[in-house]
Structure 1
Amino acid sequence: MIDQTRRLRLDLRYDGTDFHGWAKQDGLRTVQGEVEAALATILRQPAGLTVAGRTDAGVHARAQVAHLDIVGQVNGEGLPTFPRALGNFTEGDLRAFRDRLNALLGASYSERWRRVLEGAELSRGILAKGESDVILTRVSQVSGDFDARFSALQRSYEYLIVDAAESRDPLTRRNHWWTSTGPLSTDQMRDAAQQLLGEHDFLSFCKPREGATTIRTLRRLDVERKADGAVEVHVEADAFCHSMVRSLVGALVEVGRGAKTAAWARSLVDQPTRGHGVPVAPARGLTLLGVSYPPETEWALQSGRARRLRTLPGAEDCGC
């Protein structure tokens, strides 16, 4: 018998309202913590997830991606002896594995609310079997070249803003920011957004991490007024640094309410510094819409590219 490692890709969705973000934290409920606990129950071994985007507390995801390595035994004929829940890694087995994970996540969610609502009459109508605020949509087997974080080509986010009292809808309050700014000018916000596209040092919009660059390529920053009256900001980039999307939205709202100009927005990338004091929009309006990857043959190449620390042409690497 020899040890063999298999890599699984997990596609998942979650409502971030009651989570303290993606990343596991002692004593706090997080998406990573919930999913890894369910995985460990099934696999009977510790589970460590690598994620495409570490969302903050209160941020939602419609199409998050993570990967997981599991170690098991294979015999001389190459037949896996992993936990039976994984079977032989057929599509049917992986669907059953996904469904088992979702059942455990649902049970954990229900138990949490039973404790919160114990003795309350509300509990009879609020809990439904299998309901959860995080769910796996697909589990697939991938090669070891796949890296949920570094193989990604692009991430896309949506931010939703309600700037008028008549457009407020209690049914969507968990993923919209109800502002008190008054009506926003989407034309002015669009003008400002155009100033920020391309490759820049986005230090003015980020909380830098030691040893990481704040240089990113912003490929899309659109602002639209939707039919229901909400303002939608759609953001796409190769990657984002900490708080970048919410700071971009915060800057655009400043312009939209008339407090700042498009020229000010441009100065944030022309003169990158944390000293600009760009406001950070609340987490609840932000949703990760999706993560895109190249063909399988390019996973390793893209991972190598993404791991390189970038600098702008003509500038020395500041190591920020």
Structure 2
Amino acid sequence: MSKDMGSCNPQRMIAGIIIGLMIVTMLVGILILGLKSSESENQEANNPIVIEDFECVLNNISETRKYKVNSPFSISCTRSLQFGSNSRLIMKFNPNYNLSQEYVEVNVSIENDIIKAGSWEVRTSPHIELRRGLIECGQDGVYDITFQTPKTNISFVFIVDIDKETTGVELKFTEKENEYLINCTYRRECDPACIILWEVRNGSIGPLPHVGFNCSDPVDWMVHCWGNIPKTSINLENNTLMCRPNITNQTEADYFGAVLPNNILQCNNITDCDFHCPKESLDDYFIDTTYCNIFHRCVNGTLYSETCSIGTFFSTRHCTCAHIDEVLQDRSCTRDGLRLETGNQIVLCRAHKSIT
């Protein structure tokens, strides 16, 4: 009897109702907070954060320029940005030699101060910086960097263009009994190219038939090519020779190519020539009496004639090919490459004296 009456006690019933209401109120509050949080996240997603003071530059230089091989290579950001735990740094690379090919160079989570990613080192403190050491051949191209955060993505694109040093073809010519020996060298940084021997005939050029012309493997980007030309294979009166680099840019190939002046061929082949080796010359260098980019070497009476590469004349002071501006200071040449004040004399370069 007491048990049944206890279960119907009004006070207990009221307490149970109050506790139930409290539980319902707590659940409703949690639900409302969840809805507000979701609404806030959706608003942030629809309105990405704009970061006006966050900028990245290549090698601390804002303007576009060409970089030499072995120059420093780094990408740094001017101001630090607070990234969340789920932020990532992704860098993609499209090389110039094949822009359609894409490589993912960096794909790391931005959490630690120093992060290794292949050849790259990523520093996040006190500011964002990507380091790779020195620029090497093959690293010219497009770098696309993206900072991925839970709230927004920030992207930068950099174009790296390498200034590849190129020297003009240097052509050396030697006469033998029944043939000519041609030696040509050419240096093109990062993209070495072999040399093709051409015949220049009436202003047009074409391959020289029946001539073996070989090129060595490049050493320090320098290619050396050589060949023997039978004297019967070229008409000295009208034609001459040209060493021309085998590259796709035809304008560049013409510019850096070396033409063997016709008078060199004649001087090495006929007796009636403007230049003769002195009989007493054992091994001496002589300037050409007409052209500043030509010089002659006499070894025991045998003549070897050579041309200086593009941008250089033969210097009587240094007895070697030197920059045109330096040779002009000696007042021995015109800028057009004509020799001055030699008359009909043969000037011995090494001894700085004249032989009549």
TM range (shorter): under 0.3
Q: What's the TM-score, normalizing by structure 1?
A: 0.21
| Structure with the bigger percentage of strand | 2
Structure (1/2) with the larger helix percentage: 1
Name the TM-score, length of structure 2 as normaliser: 0.20
